[in-house]
Amino acid sequence: MDAKDNIYDKIRELLGELSGSLTVMEQQIDADIQFEYYHYARTLGPDFDSEKVLRERDDLFMPDIPEESKKTLLIRLATIGSIEAFRTLEKFARERENGLTDWATLALQENRLLLESKLLDENKVLISSGLGGKGLKIRYFTVLQSRSGCGFSDFEQKLVSSEIRFAMKNCKGDLESVHFDHELCTIISVIPLQVPIQGLFHDFLKECNQYGEFLNPDCMITNVKILSYDQIRKLIGCMETSKKPG
């Protein structure tokens, strides 16, 4: 993706004539679970008896019903545009001890968009990522490195914190956290779809580096998951090893 590209335009381009009202899923759900859910839905196919599914909807709350059967019910209910299906999914999603909370959340979101599409007579397009979002903003996890490999000084920490707050305010994003750990800095932010992410962080790093070139010009940005510092260092080590000749 070019530094001037933004997700909003890319999605519109990919959807073409199918484009409609965009919705960002707010909940943070592991990308692997999302993949499993949608893959399972594709394997089931679109043909089924919706009346039979509605009659069996209370099976979701029965402890002796196998998990696989409940997964199938969730996916089927998600595609039934009725208040009965929605209320069932809503109730099941509130039961935090059911072991399928993420699946229930995905099914409920899918069903909500289906109902909204029918009521408003327009396409509703769901954008989901592992870190979720707010409104038409997506949450990102960003990792910065000190160029020296040493810890950040007090001045550098204050500068990074100040500049990222300014950058978020300027793009109408939300800064949720800034943390430092020796040579690493992690940032969690929620950024509008229309904002070119690469360009935003390129300009931010450039501003910071006017005061001593203390940041590595490359940074890690993901909307898939939040990494621990041990995971980050392991990943950086693997990347550096792969760059070494033969």
Q: Which of 139, 164, 135, 153 is nearest to 214 (CA)?
A: 153
Provide the β-strand partners of residue 179.
Answer: 186
Residues 6+ positions from 31 with CB-CB distance below 8 Å: 129, 130, 224, 225
CATH 3.30.565.10 fits 135-243, yes or no: no
- Residue 54: its pLDDT value, please? 96
Domain boundaries defined on the chain? 30-127, 135-243
Average pLDDT on 198-205 reads 94
Identify whether the C-beta of residue 112 lies closer than 8 Å to the C-beta of residue 86: yes
Model-wide pTM > 0.75: yes
Residue 143: how many other CB atoms lie within 10 Å: 20
210-227 pLDDT, tens digit each: 999 999 999 999 999 999
Q: What band does 184 get if pLDDT is binned at 50, 70 and 90? A: very high
- Residue 164: its pLDDT value, please? 97
Say which DSSP state 194 is in. T
Q: What band does 18 get if pLDDT is binned at 50, 70 and 90? A: very low
125-163 pLDDT, tens digit each: 788 889 999 888 999 999 999 999 899 999 999 999 999
Helices 101-120 and 31-44 pack at an angle, to 10 degrees, of 60
Q: What band does 118 get if pLDDT is binned at 50, 70 and 90? A: confident
Where are the strands (E) in the chain, listed by range? Answer: 21-24, 124-127, 133-134, 137-145, 174-181, 184-192, 220-222
33-70 pLDDT, tens digit each: 999 999 999 999 888 999 999 999 999 999 999 999 99
Say which DSSP state 209 is in. G
- The single residue listed with the structure tokens 């992410």 is 197
- Is it the case that residue 173 has pLDDT exceeding 90? yes
For residue 100, CA distances in Å to 35, 40, 60, 103, 203 come to 15, 14, 10, 5, 42
- Residue 135: its pLDDT value, please? 85
- Identity at 148, one-letter amino acid code: S
